[in-house]
Structure 1
Amino acid sequence: MRSHPLLAVCMLLAVCGSVHAQDLAKVCHATSSYDVTVEPDRLIFDRDAPAPTRVVLGAGSLQTDGQPVALSDEDQDRIDVFQRDLRALMPRVKSVAQHGVAITMQTIHDESASLDLDQDTRAELDRRLAAHAADLRQRIADSHSTHDWHGDAADNYANQILSDITPLVASSLGQQALNAAMTGDLQQAGTLRDQASNVATNFQPRLEGRLQALRPEIQALCPDIQRLSQLQEGLRASNGRPLNLVQIGQ
């Protein structure tokens, strides 16, 4: 089963790349096999299999795989509350993701400060970090669907940032190593080469440690995620199966 606990996991994946330690599946034990798209007048949940593969929640209405589902007055009310609560959760989820962006970019900046980078490289690095941060913040702000943050897309975006930054740093250190070797300082040349080769390797564990700061913010979302799971209890698709839009594990 894919883990798509609403928008949070996918946004955090975009922030962290392959760092999964903070996602809601582990903190809140909340998962879903559906992607979710939030539209002004409805919520759309979709997945490849099993049926129902498409669930649409409107104003007091439920449709699964194109078939309307008869609802009691109580069920209509619960669907309306489910929609309201999920929409209210979105800004909070995005706030956590935005904080993750800030932590990630600050970590890259701090790691680069420990390296012997020349002034021009440091300035260019800061410029690129600012551009990536602004782009990612805007993507988060504009997103209304987990389809925007599928694993491959998130990983590709994280790799795009690293591929833009790592060669810049490695090139600067490599050039300095070459200059040191040409002047006979082989020890310094070796140190710089080691730094260049370890830039990406050393970054991820340090980032994982700093992202622990997000854990309390994510934990604060857990009661609302659990409430969504409770609101859907008893709701069934047109084929009689429970919806299970959100699942809470142990």
Structure 2
Amino acid sequence: MRHAVAAIACLLVFAAGAAHAGPTKSPELSSRECGLSTPYNVQVDGGGVWLYRHGGLPKEIFFHDGTLSVDRRVQAISQADAQRLRQMEDDARALMPEVAGIARESVGISFDVLAGVVRTMTDSERKVRKVERHRERALEHIDDSLGNGRWDQDVFGDTFEANVEQVIEQVTGSITRSALWAVFTGRSEQLEERADRVDREVDRMVEARSAALERHAQALCSQVVALRRQQDALEYRYRGAPLVMLEPDASPTPVASVHDAGDATRTSAIPVAGQ
């Protein structure tokens, strides 16, 4: 019985770790990357780049084809700044699909782990299908937002994380019930064997994909840094100060890295001169 209870505890760790893609490595969809962040929501499409927020000034920044609008007023800028803004727009438009791809892969890893844990520990395809429905909704959410060039901090912040955590709680409860039933019906050895199998399978499933995802995110950092340099080179001044769309991230947590289970790996690049 003691070993079976220990196995159950391990399963709870597995399920919680899967919220961030697995008990060994854990990509997390994050609003900060490459040591930079933004206070703005972002929309990038054929009409230009729009940054907006509810508090602080300026509230809106828009640029397209070398023109700049701040709080819905067109600004006088130099030819050099017009060229910088064109380059920033081109870079942002190229970067957004890459960010969407990283988000999809991060979610994919997470739900692959969840489905694998549920299948191994419960032998229930019905429960696996429930996990897959949550996966479909998460991917649809990404396609409808990042896939359309939109990053909303409210959506991809606490709300998005809370939705994922809700799925994890459901999965954890399901696994715990199956584990307890196995203990009380005298199948604790089978439970421990399955726990060992989950450990091996998760390592195999996550390690290579998580490393590739991290490399992809790190590769995009150079593009994000280039956006910051273009911003810093702008001659335009807003109320006598530089126009800030990207700024150093004050978070003490290193970004674009991989940690053990329970830690967050920030692997989604900032999509634009913004989030």
TM above 0.5, one fold? yes
Cα RMSD over matched residues? 3.4
Q: Which amino acid aligns with 2:241?
A: R
Q: What corresponds to 2:103 in structure 1?
A: 97
| Residue 35 of structure 1, aligned match among 38, 41, 66 | 41
Q: Distance in 2 between matches of 1:124 and 1:61?
A: 54
Q: What is the aligned length?
A: 213
Among candidates 125, 132, 135, match of residue 133 of structure 1: 135
Q: 1:245 to 1:208 in 2, by over 3 A?
A: farther
Structure 2: distance between partners of 1:230 and 1:21: 26
CA contact under 8 A between 1:54 and 1:64: conserved in structure 2? yes
Deviation at 1:106, TM superposition (A): 1.8
Task: Indicate if the aligned counterparts of 1:232 and 1:244 stay in contact, CA closer than 8 A.
Answer: yes
Q: Does 1:77 align with 2:109?
A: no
SS of residue in 2 equivalent to 1:108: helix
* Alpha-carbon separation, structure 2, partners of 1:130 and 1:39: 30
Unaligned runs of 5+ in 2: 1-18, 255-275
Runs in 1 of length 4+ with deviation above 6 angstroms? 19-22, 206-210
Q: Note if contact 1:69-1:237 (Cα within 8 Å) is conserved in structure 2.
A: no
Q: Map of 1:170-181 to 2, 5 A cutoff?
A: 170-178=176-184, 180=185
Quick check: 148-157 or 62-71, which moved more?
148-157
- Superposed counterparts of 1:4-83, under 5 Å: 16=20, 23=30, 25=32, 28-83=34-89
Q: Which has the higher contact order (CA 8 A, sep 6+)?
A: 2
Q: Name which of structure 1's ranges 207-216 and 142-151 shifts more when overlaid on structure 2.
A: 207-216
2:188 matched to which residue of 1? Answer: 188
1:154 pairs with 2:160:
yes
Q: Which blocks of at least 5 consecutive residues in structure 1 are unaligned?
A: 1-14
Q: 1:207 to 1:155 in 2, by over 3 A?
A: farther
Q: Which amino acid aligns with 1:84?
A: D
SS at match of 2:44: strand
Q: Percent identity?
A: 23
TM (normalized to structure 1)?
Answer: 0.70
- Matched ranges for 1:117-128 at <5 A: 117=122, 119=123, 122-128=124-130
TM-score (norm 2): 0.65
* CA offsets 1:88-146 (integer angstroms, 9 cap, x no match): 1011111111111221112223333553x2x3xx2012212222222222221221322
Structure 1 residues 50 and 207, CA gap change in structure 2 (3 angstroms)? farther
Contact 1:82–1:228 under 8 Å retained in 2: yes
In the alignment, what sits opposite 2:260?
A: none
